[in-house]
Structure 1
Amino acid sequence: MKTWLITGCSSGIGEGIAKAVLKKGDQAVVTARNPKKLADLVKEYPNTAYVVALDVTDRESITNAVKEALAKFGTIDVLINNAGYGYRSSVEEGEIDGVDQLFSTNFFGPIELIKEVLPTMRANKSGAIVNVSSIAAVRSGVGSGYYAASKAALELMTDGLAKELKPLGIKVMIVEPGSFRTHFYDTSLKGTEKKIEDYAETAGKTRKENVVNMKNQPGDPMKGGEIIVETIERDDYPFRLLLGSDAVRIVSEALQERLKEIEDFKTISSKSDY
């Protein structure tokens, strides 16, 4: 029986991960800023689900959550950094306080959690860390530059982390979801209050107040959670797990475009050599 620590479990893919873990009989430390939202999980799995309040932007909250998890179950075998949200703004309109909060949640919070669980995983010479990123880390969009940057930072940090931990017997995986039927497009979406008229027809159209969640996204968060849990348990797990048929299509197109650009300009690129 393994012990999983999962962030952002109150809804969406995080909830799907938590349910998949508990359904398979493992122990789960389920976290959210408001632990009351997780009452149903504990009611259904009273012996294996343990709720901990966690604000990933608060260092003390992170330290206390890990201490509680270790006190309850004795170890942490798998860390799932899932908590995060979107931010809509043109680059020029972005407000530094809002961007700081975005990076604290999407990037720096996961780093602090990783640092807290690694001593236990290194001592055990085993474990797994899964960081939930986004297809935005591969291809950004109008009005999503800051969100994409936070996820790209998470991915490149994770790339280095994976190489550092592989010799220690610790797995590392990135998940790149496409569009899922979650609260990402409504209550979880944040953005700038600043408005510049020149962006009305570009980033302005993607502002949070102009986004209507039609709840017709192709991704099922419960299935997504199950796939993440099943895949990190495999011996042949991928470093980057695309989640959703739209993710496969969009990332494939973006990488093909990048390869074409390299090929088209390789002669110019190579001129800088001695």
Structure 2
Amino acid sequence: MVAITGASSGIGRAIARALRPLGARLVLNALADSELDALREEFGADAAIVAGDIADAKTGQELLAAALGRFGCAEVLVNNAGIFRNGSADAIDLDAMERMIAVNFTAVVRNCYLFARAMAAQGSGHIVNLSSISATLTTPGCGVYAGTKRAVEGFSEALRIELAGTGVRVGVIAPGTTDTDLFDRVPGQPRSSNVAVRKLDPADLADAVRYVLERPDHANIPHLRLYSADQRH
């Protein structure tokens, strides 16, 4: 059983596509919009679809309930959902910043704790949190986004240590610039501003998730960075 947040497109959907042929039983989360229909059409009865804003506390609870109710266990959680908002100190949209923190960090923490409790009770499980190159390298106007990703990494490491010996593994995957619609969803932010000579494909990140999950039970990858070979910043 693999629960994936933000599964309607980009990296989340690529992860679902990569794990499905391996026999993964999927619980997929996405916002309640037209993208859900595409998920249902592609994955059909093989997956449980949980519609809802991951920043809403009840959505994480419903994700876990779907995993336990449909498949009887909580084996893997991939916290992939994320949004990007930026702006200078004198013009930044504070409400947008709060929304980003809620999606990129608060929801990750909540989901991790919900699933970790169930996983610890069953004696096994694996949590993979998606971070970003921005956790260690940021630019003016992107401090809050970078802060959310750095916070995810710090939290994930603390949780990994806390859960050591319980059978529950925790790790982070930090991608460089990837060809997704993350920037397309930002008002006034053109896709061309997402600059790299050659971007990663979402499938590259899906392969990384698969690699992390396929390590033997006694091995855990706490942090994996994956950048384009052309990434200079």
TM-score, normalised via structure 2 length: 0.89
Question: 2:192 maps to what in 1?
Answer: 212
Cα 1:211–1:248 change in 2 (3 A) is closer
What does 1:15-164 align with in structure 2 at a 5 Å threshold? 15-34=13-32, 36-164=34-162
Question: Could you list the runs of 5+ residues in structure 2 that have no partner in the other structure?
Answer: none
Question: 1:224 maps to what in 2?
Answer: 205
Q: Which has the larger radius of gyration?
A: 1
Residues matched between the structures, number: 230
Question: 1:10 maps to what in 2?
Answer: 8
Identity of aligned residues (%): 31
In the aligned structure 1, how far is the partner of 2:180 from the partner of 2:146?
18
Determine if the alignment matches structure 1 residue 239 to structure 2 residue 219: no
In the aligned structure 2, how far is the partner of 1:174 from the partner of 1:35?
28
Q: CA RMSD in A?
A: 2.3
**How big is the shift at 1:217?**
4.3
Question: 1:270 maps to what in 2?
Answer: none
In the aligned structure 2, how far is the partner of 1:50 from the partner of 1:84?
21
What secondary structure does 1:109 align onto?
helix
In the aligned structure 2, how far is the partner of 1:87 from the partner of 1:44?
30
In the aligned structure 2, how far is the partner of 1:62 from the partner of 1:122?
17
Cα shift readout 1:90-139 (whole Å, capped 9, x = no counterpart): 23432322111110000000111112212210111110111101010011
**How big is the shift at 1:246?**
4.7
The runs of 4+ residues in structure 1 deviating greater than 4 Å are 213-217, 246-250
In the aligned structure 1, how far is the partner of 2:46 from the partner of 2:166?
28
**How big is the shift at 1:249?**
6.0
Q: Which amino acid aligns with 2:44?
A: P
Question: Could you list the runs of 5+ residues in structure 1 that have no partner in the other structure?
Answer: 191-207, 251-274
TM-score, normalised via structure 1 length: 0.77
Q: Which amino acid aligns with 1:240?
A: H
Cα 1:43–1:227 change in 2 (3 A) is same
Cα shift readout 1:44-85 (whole Å, capped 9, x = no counterpart): 443432211131111122222321221111111000000001
Q: Which of the pair is proportionally richer in helix? A: 1
In the aligned structure 1, how far is the partner of 2:126 from the partner of 2:179?
27
